[in-house]
A and B are shown apart, each in its own frame.
Chain A
Amino acid sequence: MSASLDKGVNVLKEMIDAPIASYFNSCVHCGLCAEACLFYTETGDPKYTPIHKLEPLRRIYTQEYTLLGKLAKMVGLSKPVTDDELEEWQELVYNSCTLCARCSLVCPVGNDLVYMIRKFREGMAVSGHAPEGLIGATTRAVEIGSPMGIRLPAVQAQMKHVQEDTGIEIPLDREGAEYMVLLSSMEIINFPEYLGAIAKIMKQAGKTWTLCSTAFEATNSGIQIGVGDIAKVLVNRIVEGAERLKVKTVISPECGHAYTALRWDGANLVGRPFSFEVLHILEVLDGFREQGLLKTEGFEEARVTFHDPCQLVRRGGVMEQPRSLLNMVAKDFVEMDDPAKYNWCCGGGGGVSANEDAEELRLQAFQVKKRQLEKTGAETLVTACANCRIVMEEGLEHYQLDIPVVGLTETLAEHLVEAED
Chain B
Amino acid sequence: MNEIALLNWARGPGLDIAVAVFLLGTLWRLIEIISLGRKKDLSAPRHKPGASGWHTIARRSVAPPGMLKRSPISYIGGYVFHVGLALIVFFYAQHIKLIESLIGLSWPALPSQLIDLVTVITLAAMVLVLVDRINKPVKRYLSTFEDYFTWAVTFLPILTGYLAVKHLLLPYTTMLALHILSVELLLVVLPFTKLFHVFTAFMSRWYNGNANAHKGVSV
A residues 20-71 near B (Cβ < 8 Å) are 20-23, 25-32, 34-36, 40-41, 44, 46-47, 49, 51-52, 65-68
A183 shortest CB reach to chain B, Å: 22
A410 shortest CB reach to chain B, Å: 26
Q: Which residues of A contact B43 (CB under 8 A)?
A: 263-268, 273-274
Q: Which residues of B contact A66 (CB under 8 A)?
A: 32
Chain A's closest residue to B129 (CB) is A30
Interface residues on chain B, number (Cβ under 8 Å): 60
User: B66 an interface residue at 8 Å Cβ cutoff?
Assistant: yes
A110-B211 CB under 8 A given contacts A25-B196, A263-B43, A315-B217: no
Task: Please state if A110 and B209 are interface contacts (CB–CB under 8 Å).
Answer: yes
Q: Which residues of B contact A51 (CB under 8 A)?
A: 142
B residues 187-219 near A (Cβ < 8 Å) are 192, 194, 196-197, 200-209, 211-212, 214-217, 219
A341-B207 CB under 8 A given contacts A35-B71, A317-B48: no
Task: Please state if B194 and A27 are interface contacts (CB–CB under 8 Å).
Answer: yes
Across the interface, A30 reaches (CB within 8 A) one of B41, B139, B207, B215, namely B139
Q: Which residues of A contact B137 (CB under 8 A)?
A: 44, 46
Q: Which residues of A contact B44 (CB under 8 A)?
A: 267, 273-274, 277-278
Task: Please state if A52 and B215 are interface contacts (CB–CB under 8 Å).
Answer: no
Task: Please state if B29 and A46 are interface contacts (CB–CB under 8 Å).
Answer: no
Chain B's closest residue to A271 (CB) is B42
Chain A's closest residue to B70 (CB) is A35
B66 shortest CB reach to chain A, Å: 6
Across the interface, B204 reaches (CB within 8 A) one of A23, A31, A32, A46, namely A23
User: A104 an interface residue at 8 Å Cβ cutoff?
Assistant: yes
Q: CA separation between A295 and B29, bound complex, in Å?
A: 59
Q: Which residues of A contact B29 (CB under 8 A)?
A: 25
Q: Which residues of A contact B60 (CB under 8 A)?
A: 107-110
B32 shortest CB reach to chain A, Å: 6
Q: Which residues of B contact A22 (CB under 8 A)?
A: 33, 200, 203-204, 207
Q: Which residues of A contact B36 (CB under 8 A)?
A: 16-18, 20-21, 65
Q: CA separation between A46 and B140, bound complex, in Å?
A: 9
Which of A22, A268, A317, A342 has its CB near the most chain B CB atoms (within 10 A)? A22
Interface majority SS on B: helix, strand, loop or mixed?
A: helix
Task: Please state if B205 and A110 are interface contacts (CB–CB under 8 Å).
Answer: yes
A29-B205 CB under 8 A given contacts A46-B138, A112-B211, A337-B66: no
Q: CA separation between A26 and B199, bound complex, in Å?
A: 8
User: A316 an interface residue at 8 Å Cβ cutoff?
Assistant: yes
User: B116 an interface residue at 8 Å Cβ cutoff?
Assistant: no
Q: CA separation between A26 and B196, bound complex, in Å?
A: 7
Task: Please state if B204 and A110 are interface contacts (CB–CB under 8 Å).
Answer: yes
Task: Please state if A25 and B66 are interface contacts (CB–CB under 8 Å).
Answer: no
B28 shortest CB reach to chain A, Å: 8
Across the interface, A17 reaches (CB within 8 A) one of B39, B142, B209, namely B39
Q: Which residues of A contact B216 (CB under 8 A)?
A: 317
Q: CA separation between A319 and B217, bound complex, in Å?
A: 8
A26 shortest CB reach to chain B, Å: 4
Task: Please state if A31 and B215 are interface contacts (CB–CB under 8 Å).
Answer: no
User: A115 an interface residue at 8 Å Cβ cutoff?
Assistant: yes
Task: Please state if B208 and A104 are interface contacts (CB–CB under 8 Å).
Answer: yes
Contact with A along B119-146 (1 / 0, CB 8 A): 0000000000000010011111111100
Task: Please state if B71 and A25 are interface contacts (CB–CB under 8 Å).
Answer: no
Task: Please state if B32 and A65 are interface contacts (CB–CB under 8 Å).
Answer: yes
A29-B46 CB under 8 A given contacts A67-B32, A317-B215: no
Task: Please state if B192 and A68 are interface contacts (CB–CB under 8 Å).
Answer: yes
A17 shortest CB reach to chain B, Å: 5
User: B14 an interface residue at 8 Å Cβ cutoff?
Assistant: no
Q: Which residues of A contact B212 (CB under 8 A)?
A: 112
A71 shortest CB reach to chain B, Å: 11
Which of A25, A35, A66, A265 has its CB near the most chain B CB atoms (within 10 A)? A25
User: A19 an interface residue at 8 Å Cβ cutoff?
Assistant: yes
Task: Please state if B46 and A268 are interface contacts (CB–CB under 8 Å).
Answer: no
Q: Which residues of A contact B174 (CB under 8 A)?
A: none
A270 shortest CB reach to chain B, Å: 8
User: A361 an interface residue at 8 Å Cβ cutoff?
Assistant: no
A32-B32 CB under 8 A given contacts A111-B204, A272-B42: no
Q: CA separation between A287 and B211, bound complex, in Å?
A: 25
A18-B74 CB under 8 A given contacts A109-B200, A266-B43, A268-B41: no
A258 shortest CB reach to chain B, Å: 14
Q: CA separation between A15 and B15, bound complex, in Å?
A: 40
User: B49 an interface residue at 8 Å Cβ cutoff?
Assistant: no
B108 shortest CB reach to chain A, Å: 30
A181 shortest CB reach to chain B, Å: 19
Q: CA separation between A65 and B28, bound complex, in Å?
A: 12
User: B147 an interface residue at 8 Å Cβ cutoff?
Assistant: yes
B172 shortest CB reach to chain A, Å: 34
User: B117 an interface residue at 8 Å Cβ cutoff?
Assistant: no
Chain B's closest residue to A18 (CB) is B36
A19-B211 CB under 8 A given contacts A35-B67, A263-B43: yes
User: B34 an interface residue at 8 Å Cβ cutoff?
Assistant: yes
User: B37 an interface residue at 8 Å Cβ cutoff?
Assistant: yes
B129 shortest CB reach to chain A, Å: 9
Q: List 10 A-B contacts (CB under 8 A).
A: A17-B39, A21-B36, A25-B194, A31-B136, A40-B138, A49-B138, A105-B64, A265-B43, A266-B43, A267-B41
Given contacts A21-B36, A29-B139, A278-B44, 9 further A-B contacts (CB under 8 A): A17-B37, A20-B36, A25-B194, A49-B138, A52-B142, A105-B64, A108-B60, A112-B208, A341-B217
Tell me the A residues contacting B by CB distance below 8 Å: 16-23, 25-32, 34-36, 40-41, 44, 46-47, 49, 51-52, 65-68, 104-112, 115, 263-268, 271-274, 277-278, 314-317, 319, 337-338, 341-342
